[in-house]
Structure 1
Amino acid sequence: MPPAPAGASAAASAARAREHLLRLLEPVVSGAGFDLEDVTVAAAGRRSLVRVTVDADGGIDLDAVAVVSRLVSDTLDADADDVTGPRALAGAYVLEVSSPGVDRPLTEPRHWRRAAGRLVKVDVDGASVVGRVLAADDSAVVLEVDGAERRAAFDDLGPGRVQVEFSRAGHSDDDEDEEV
């Protein structure tokens, strides 16, 4: 059997590092009160670029990003110093911590819950639907579609996408422009 191409080996190594990081960082991030949404590792010259995406109900602010950055950095450094087991990163790294962007697919009940009030596009039972998220629990989401409420079980949904709205019908920005 011929050896795997170098690119395949690098991809497998990155996948192993990602899985190790997810297992390593999830309890640290959740212990701080946040959800670990994703971790990616990419080569950045002689260093690894580690991107950690976190979220929480109500979103995260810069103070939360700073807290998570410190915790993740301390954990990665401790992991690098551990000579008894596998390490996620072999050398120096650059750490980026952020919240998920608007383009993140809505795939988990918590994603849908956090999107309450937002306009989304999603496949429901194979048909594309655009509606506003009214509510979500652990089993379903309630959407307002064409003025009617529609409850859809997560098993019947594809990944949802938040739609960017520059102005929302029926809502005025006048409240934000009031003089104090």
Structure 2
Amino acid sequence: MSRDTGVQELIDGALHGSGVVLEEVVVTPAGRRRVVRVVVDRALEVTGDVTETLPSLSLDEIASATHTVSDALDESDVLGEQPYTLEVTSPGVSRPLTAASHFRRNVGRLVVLTPQDGEPVTGRIVRAGDDDLTLLVPAVKKAPERDEIFAYAAIDRADVQVEFSRKDDTDTTTPEDDLNASSDKEN
């Protein structure tokens, strides 16, 4: 068993039952030290179709996972005597979506999806199942808004898009609306 495999098994076991799962662990040399980079995400308790947005990990949950991982590494000799720096994080939006669990965790988000046999499609994930997902593709030019189903096996690449504001946010008032409302009250 390699050192990285031993570290991964140790961390995976330490996080079991915590509501957080290990996504990736990478141990790299950095001078006289090593850097242990651990990527964790929320454990999925659902099976089948997911149609609602799941909450991201909070800073408190990341901190708790960091303490759990740190304690497990300190109590074990899996890293030997060489000092290390521990970095625990959650996956960022730059990580491509490659597994069904990635799509399930990103229901409600805007993605650019490239099918193996077609052009890239931009849309919002409205359902993610065991084998496929449904993407709500917005209306463009003369094409109406539509749902498209993509099998995971037929997807070449999928990336989450950063949105600073959404058109369907519940608060649709503008500063001008607030100004007009307050001036109406004064009259």
Instruction: Give the TM interval when normalised to the shorter protein.
Output: 0.7 to 0.9
Instruction: Measure the CA separation in 2 of the matches of 1:136 and 1:173.
Output: 27
81, 88, 95: which one pairs with 1:97? Answer: 88
48, 57, 77: which one pairs with 2:34? Answer: 48
* Residues 39, 169 of structure 1: alpha-carbon distance in 2 compared, 3 angstrom cutoff: same
Report which structure shows greater RCO (CA 8 Å, sep ≥6). Answer: 2
Structure 1 residue identity aligned to 2:116: D
Helix, strand or coil at the partner of 1:23: helix
Structure 2 residue identity aligned to 1:64: E
Instruction: Measure the CA separation in 1 of the matches of 2:55 and 2:3.
Output: 30
Aligned match of 2:19: 33
Q: How many angstroms does 1:67 deviate by?
A: 1.4
Q: Deviations over 1:105-160 (max 9, x none)?
A: 11111211111111101222332221110010111111012411111111111231
* Residues 151, 25 of structure 1: alpha-carbon distance in 2 compared, 3 angstrom cutoff: same
68, 72, 85: which one pairs with 1:71? Answer: 68
Aligned match of 1:163: 161
How many residue pairs match? The answer is 158
Instruction: Measure the CA separation in 2 of the matches of 1:42 and 1:100.
Output: 18
Instruction: Measure the CA separation in 2 of the matches of 1:126 and 1:78.
Output: 50
130, 136, 139: which one pairs with 2:131? Answer: 139
Which ranges of structure 1 fall in alignment gaps of 5 or more residues? 1-15, 81-86
TM-score (norm 2): 0.74
Does the 8 Å contact 1:48/1:89 carry over to 2? Answer: no
Quick check: which one's helix share is greater?
1
110, 113, 117: which one pairs with 2:108? Answer: 117
| Overall identity of the aligned pairs, in % | 38
Does the 8 Å contact 2:134/2:149 carry over to 1? Answer: yes
Once structures 1 and 2 are overlaid, which stretch shifts more, 147-156 or 24-33?
A: 24-33
Larger-Rg structure? 2
* Residues 171, 152 of structure 1: alpha-carbon distance in 2 compared, 3 angstrom cutoff: same
Aligned match of 1:129: 121
Instruction: Measure the CA separation in 1 of the matches of 2:91 and 2:85.
Output: 19
